[in-house]
Amino acid sequence: MTALSNGHAANNSSLFKIPPIKFTNLFINGHFVHSLSGNEFETIDPRTGEVIAKISEGRKEDIDVAVKAAREAFDNGPWPRMSGAERAKIMMKWADLIEENLEELAALDAIDAGKLYHLVKVVDIPAVANCLRYYAGAADKIHGEVLKGAREFHAYTLMEPIGVVGHIIPWNFPSTMFAAKVSPSLAAGCTVVLKPAEQTPLSALFFAHLAKQAGIPDGVLNVVPGFGPTAGAAISSHMDIDKVSFTGSTEVGRAIMHAAASSNLKPVSLELGGKSPLLIFDDADVDKAADLALLGILFNKGEICVASSRVFVQEGIYDEFEKKLVEKAKAWVVGDPFDPQSQQGPQVDKNQFEKILSYIEIGKQEGATLLTGGKRVGNKGYYIEPTIFSNVKENMRIAQDEIFGPVLALMKFRTIEEGIKSANNSRYGLAAGIVTKNIDTANTVSRAIRAGIIWINCYFAFGNDIPYGGYKQSGFGRDFGMEGLHKYLQVKSVVTPIYNSPWL
């Protein structure tokens, strides 16, 4: 098909052959099972709005069964009792199996989430294998410390797996988020009940199937597709889950923390929304900066919590930057995610699609200038034009709220101090980008911005060893890196008197 950004319909059927959907049931205790109620829900192809498959719908009673399996696997099973090296070996095998099934997994995410197939294939799925290998390599490197007591005591810390972990993951990066949550918790020796987003249950179920093949013992990994208010709520309020890790919206994050507080006080880590600033200074290469800004908002259709949805440009280059940005946005290719030429697929579902269009209306009503975009693409599926607003004021909703779509708010600033102040003028604090050649500017701004990750002359630079998470209402706790492992560990201090020691 011809993929176009200028309003042509992106509704031709894909040339790509979608693999048959093999796994649609809940994965509990090593087996695929129907939900107890027998209920199912539909997972939709966002290119067309049509049904891909019917998925067993997990609810509270299914979560109970899954937690029971995970509890048993943790309390009496081999997984937490194996050496880290043995867990690593199984995780390495799992990573190999994921690479062997690369194309099928990539197709599942592309069809389920509307993600670009060719990108998922070379980025998302290999990253799952790499993340598993990273944490497999960490499984035998979990060190406690031996402590210098202030008195005649010998003390040390044991880093123990926290227990049964509930993971609730979003639909925008179904595979990446699965890996970011599951890999460190399994390396730590925990067992897992994971709820994928109702929009994108397919890849998680396939991963579970491969986990079993790799030798992950039954009950260690349970995957229960379902909805937030039922299955998600059951996880966050479960009395037998020892820790919940959630990635999603700030509103739902609040509900999860509330449920954890009113149930068993389980610790929670939250990776939530953002309204991340990208500051472009006068000394930047304007062309490169425009590329970065565009990628920052349009990558994954803007459905990424760290999207650079507020772009602040210093006044000296503002006009030139704006011109280039609009040119580049108009050349951006929106189309079928299986078409290798496409740079942007459809939004994940009707809800998101309508929410984004309503924010575009709000932006117009608030008095921002619509430079380009603003409409749906075609008449089928959930495609939206790359959209740029200028003359945006910091208090406008399009500059304050997370839109989670291809909508960029462009603003101008004069001094470095003003840029910092504007960038921090947000209830969020997930990420920020800086484009400058000046080392002092880079250092000052890096330290001044209250966000969990700062990208200098790059954006979306993720790595397995780079911790990632938010300040302020973007959440707390970190995924990735050794920080991402430590949140699945309990610290136990062991203290005993020491007599007649030659040193203290």
Partner 1 sequence: MASSSTRISRLLSRSSASLFSRGGKGYLGTGFSRYSTATALEEEPIKPAVQVEHTQLLIGGKFVDALSGKTFPTLDPRTGEVIAHVAEGHSEDVDRAVAAARKAFDQGPWPKMTAYERQRILLRAADLLEKHNDELAALETWDNGKPYEQSAQIEIPMLVRLFRYYAGWADKIHGMTVPADGQYHVQTLHEPIGVAGQIIPWNFPLLMFAWKVGPALACGNTIVLKTAEQTPLSALYAAKLFHEAGLPEGVLNVVSGFGPTAGAALASHMDVDKLAFTGSTDTGKVVLELAARSNLKPVTLELGGKSPFIVCEDADVDQAVELAHFALFFNQGQCCCAGSRTYVHEHVYDEFVEKAKARALKRIVGDPFKSGIEQGPQIDSEQFEKILKYIRSGVQSGATLETGGDRLGSKGFYVQPTVFSNVEDGMLIAKEEIFGPVQSILKFKDLDEVIERANNTRYGLAAGVFTKNIDTANTLTRALRVGTVWVNCFDTFDAAIPFGGYKMSGQGREKGEYSLKNYLQVKAVRYV
Site string for partner 1, 458-477 (x = CB under 8 A): ------xx------------
The residue within the footprint of partner 1, chosen from 3, 28, 88, 108 (CB under 8 A), is 88
The residue within the footprint of partner 1, chosen from 4, 355, 482, 490 (CB under 8 A), is 482
The residue within the footprint of partner 1, chosen from 140, 240, 282, 291 (CB under 8 A), is 140
Task: With beta carbons less than 8 A apart as the criterion, state whether 199 and 276 touch.
Answer: no
The DSSP output letter for 232 is I
CB environment 102-115: b (16+ within 10 A), e (fewer):
beebbbbbbbbbbb
In Å, what is the CA distance from 341 to each residue of 14, 16, 335, 344? 12, 13, 8, 9
In angstroms, give the least distance from the CB of 499 to partner 1: 5
Which stretch of DSSP H or E encloses residue 389? strand 387-390
Amino acid letter, 44:
I
| C-beta closer to partner 1: residue 99 or 291 | 99
- Known catalytic membership, residue 271: yes
Q: Does 130 bind partner 1 (CB under 8 A)?
A: yes
In angstroms, give the least distance from the CB of 65 to partner 1: 32
Q: Does 17 bind partner 1 (CB under 8 A)?
A: no
Q: Go through the chain and tell me how many residues it has.
A: 504
Q: Does 92 bind partner 1 (CB under 8 A)?
A: yes
How many residues belong to the site for partner 1 (CB under 8 A)?
Answer: 31
In angstroms, give the least distance from the CB of 390 to partner 1: 34
The residue within the footprint of partner 1, chosen from 15, 51, 85, 122 (CB under 8 A), is 85
Cα–Cα nearest to 372, from 362, 360, 381? 360
Which stretch of DSSP H or E encloses residue 62? helix 60-75
DSSP bridge partners of 492:
158
Task: With beta carbons less than 8 A apart as the criterion, state whether 231 and 224 touch.
Answer: yes
Q: Does 155 bind partner 1 (CB under 8 A)?
A: no
Cα–Cα nearest to 226, from 48, 18, 20, 64? 64
In angstroms, give the least distance from the CB of 441 to partner 1: 12
Q: Does 450 bind partner 1 (CB under 8 A)?
A: no
Q: Does 395 bind partner 1 (CB under 8 A)?
A: no
Q: Does 148 bind partner 1 (CB under 8 A)?
A: no
Choose, from 42, 50, 61, 271, the residue flagged as catalytic: 271
Question: Using CB under 8 A, which residues numbered 412 to 441 contact partner 1?
Answer: 439
CA–CA separation, 219 and 193 (whole Å): 9
The residue within the footprint of partner 1, chosen from 20, 265, 395, 503 (CB under 8 A), is 503
CB proximity list for 308: less than 8 A, separation 6 or greater: 276, 277, 278, 292, 293, 296, 297, 408, 431, 433, 459
Q: Which residues are catalytic?
A: 271
Instruction: Note the residues at the interface with partner 1 (CB under 8 A).
Output: 83, 85-86, 88-89, 92, 130, 133-134, 136-141, 143, 154, 439, 443, 447, 464-465, 482, 496-503
